[in-house]
Amino acid sequence: MNGIKLKSATTLRDPAELVAHGLAPAAALSGLEKVAARYAVAITPDMAALIDPDDPNDPIARQFVPSAEELVTQPGENADPIGDHAHSPVAGIVHRYPDRVLFKLVHVCAVYCRFCFRREMVGPGKATALSPAAYAGAIGYIRAHPEIWEVVLTGGDPLMLSSRRLAEIMAELAGIEHVKIVRIHTRVPVADPARISGDMIAALRVTGAVTWVALHANHARELTDRARAACAALVDGGIPMVSQTVLLRGVNDNPAALEALMRAFVECRIKPYYLHHGDLAPGTSHLRTTIAHGRQLMRDLRGRVSGLCQPDYVLDIPGGHGKAPVGPNYLSPANSVEQHKSCSPEREQREETRYRIVDYCGDVHFYPPKP
């Protein structure tokens, strides 16, 4: 495979540039300009170098090269598909779960994913970051709520901030007594690994809180040598990492692709964390799979790779109701006998529900086994 070699080390942001570099056909230019007027476009040199221009179904291109299909909004798609607004008490904060908040610091990214669930909140005509007043209000909210144990920095991509500014923010959060965990959600280590400098790593390490980095990657090819070196620098710097992946049609919706990706994460000392079902963001239906297909993929993955490589397959329930695991259920009652809370231990053991359980090969077993 020969990826795109950019004429300069600059990020591609304009449909005409995509056409000039062979990432899109000239005949599509008019439609892509309409997409770019609504949704942000950016492909870094590192990502462009991975795209095979001779493959019409290239999995990297499907993630970042815009398509006229994005202009088609299907029923049920929503500009705020996971209900951020309903749980935003002050600007920049989403407080959906009791012990943690999302802190949306910036509204820019190194690359813009074509399936982004916040695509209506970033890009053309949108603010690039919180105003100083909004930032102060968000910090004040975190200070005023002692139940907040974890702050998740998101956006946009928080690692688009300068090391100096990020160090200030991290120190301020770590100085709040009840904040013990700061989690960074980012694509930067794969999209622009040069940004993971010694200064950046130093900015992420703070006294008073533990920093975690959640890396978003969807295909094993994203974990290049440069990306792996950036991740190694973070882990060697004392920052544990987990992964986030979105299940995408034509990108990773087959067992071999998921297997390769999850193994690549583990090889990089990144624990697979979430496999997200695609959100109902406008213009993203061409990239979504069905939940039934996702559940089957999780069954396939269970039989192919180590437990270290198993993510949780989750659905962010539309309307802001949070994430729910939707992976396959291997356990179901095999009879109608239920345990009774008032039973003696002997009777409880004797009348325990018998279960039907399916192993990774699809074979059925029963627990407890018949005497």
Cα distance between residue 244 and residue 187, in whole Å: 10
Do residue 168 and residue 280 come from a single domain?
A: yes
Task: Take residue 212 and report the two structure tokens written for it.
Answer: 């975690």
> Span 185-193, mean pLDDT?
98
Mean pLDDT of 26-54: 95
Distance CA 315, CA 317 (A): 6
269-302 pLDDT, tens digit per residue, is 999 999 999 999 999 999 999 999 999 999 999 9
Whether 174 and 41 share a structural domain: no
Residue 20 lies inside a defined structural domain of this protein: yes
Cα–Cα distances (Å) from 118 to 30, 32, 279, 322, in that order, read 24, 19, 10, 16
Looking at the fold, whether 120 and 267 belong to one and the same domain comes out as: yes
| pLDDT reported for residue 319 | 84
Same domain, 52 and 182: no
Displacement of CA 1 from its chain's centroid (Å): 27
pLDDT in the model for residue 338: 44
For 16-39, what is the mean pLDDT? 95
Does 308 lie in the same domain as 245?
Answer: yes
362, pLDDT greater than 80: no
User: Nearest to residue 201, comparing CAs of 230, 160, 223, 175?
Assistant: 230
d(CA 218, CA 245): 5
| pLDDT tops 50 at residue 340 | no
* Pairing verdict, β 241-246 and 93-97: unpaired
**Within 10 A of 71 (CB to CB), how many other CB atoms are there?**
15
> By the 8 A CB rule, do 212 and 239 touch?
yes
| pLDDT of 324 strictly over 60 | yes
pLDDT value at residue 282: 95
Confidence (pLDDT) at 341: 46
Q: Is residue 71 domain-resident?
A: no
Where do runs of H (alpha helix) occur along the chain? 15-20, 29-38, 45-48, 59-64, 132-144, 163-174, 188-191, 198-204, 225-236, 255-267, 291-304, 345-350
Q: Residue 270 falls within a domain, yes or no?
A: yes
139 phi and psi angles, rounded to 5 deg? -60, -40
Q: Is residue 76 part of a domain?
A: no
pLDDT at 6: 47
Same domain for 255 and 221: yes
Look at residue 337 and tell me whether its pLDDT is greater than 50: no
Q: Report the percentage of the chain scoring pLDDT > 70.
A: 91
Q: Catalytic residues, which ones? A: 96-97, 100, 109, 113, 116, 118, 279, 316, 323
The mean predicted confidence, pLDDT, of the chain is 91
Indicate yes or no: pTM above 0.85.
yes
Determine, yes or no, domain membership for 3: no
DSSP 54-104: T-TT-HHHHHHS--GGGG-PPTT--SSTT-TGGG-SSTTEEEEETTEEEEE
- At 3 the pLDDT is 54
The per-residue pLDDT for 144 is 98
Based on the fold, state whether residues 244 and 137 are members of the same structural domain: yes
Q: Could you give the number of structural domains in the chain?
A: 3
Q: State the pLDDT at residue 49.
A: 95
Q: pLDDT band for position 334 (50/70/90)?
A: confident
Kindly give, in sequence order, each residue whose CB lies less than 8 Å from that of residue 269, ignoring residues fewer than 6 positions away.
231, 232, 235, 241
| Residue 78 within any structural domain of the chain | no
Position 194 in a domain: yes
Which contacts qualify for 366-370: CB closer than 8 Å, 24 or more apart? 366/334
- Residue whose C-alpha is closest to residue 310's, from 359, 275, 351, 348: 275
- Say if 146 falls within a structural domain: yes
Q: Are residues 202 and 349 in the same domain?
A: no
Residue 329 region by backbone torsions, left for phi larger than 0, else alpha for psi between -120 and 50, else beta? beta
Q: 104-161, pLDDT tens digit by residue?
A: 999 999 999 999 999 988 877 788 899 999 999 999 999 999 999 999 999 899 999 9
- 224 with 125, same domain: the answer is yes
CB 200, CB 159: distance < 8 Å: yes
Q: For the segment 220-257, what is each residue's pLDDT rounded down to a tens digit?
A: 999 999 999 999 999 999 999 999 999 999 999 999 99
Same domain, residue pair 264 and 363: no
pLDDT band of 8, cuts 50, 70, 90: very low
User: What range does the domain containing 24 cover?
Assistant: 15-57
pLDDT tier at 339 (50, 70, 90 boundaries)?
A: very low
Q: What does the CA dihedral 25, 29, 30, 32 come to, rounded to 10 degrees?
A: 100
C-alpha separations of 171 from 19, 66, 80, 239 in Å: 44, 38, 31, 15
Q: Are residues 357 and 240 part of one domain?
A: no
Q: Which of 53-57, 164-168, 272-276, 340-344 has the lowest mean pLDDT?
A: 340-344
Domain match, 136 and 275 both: yes
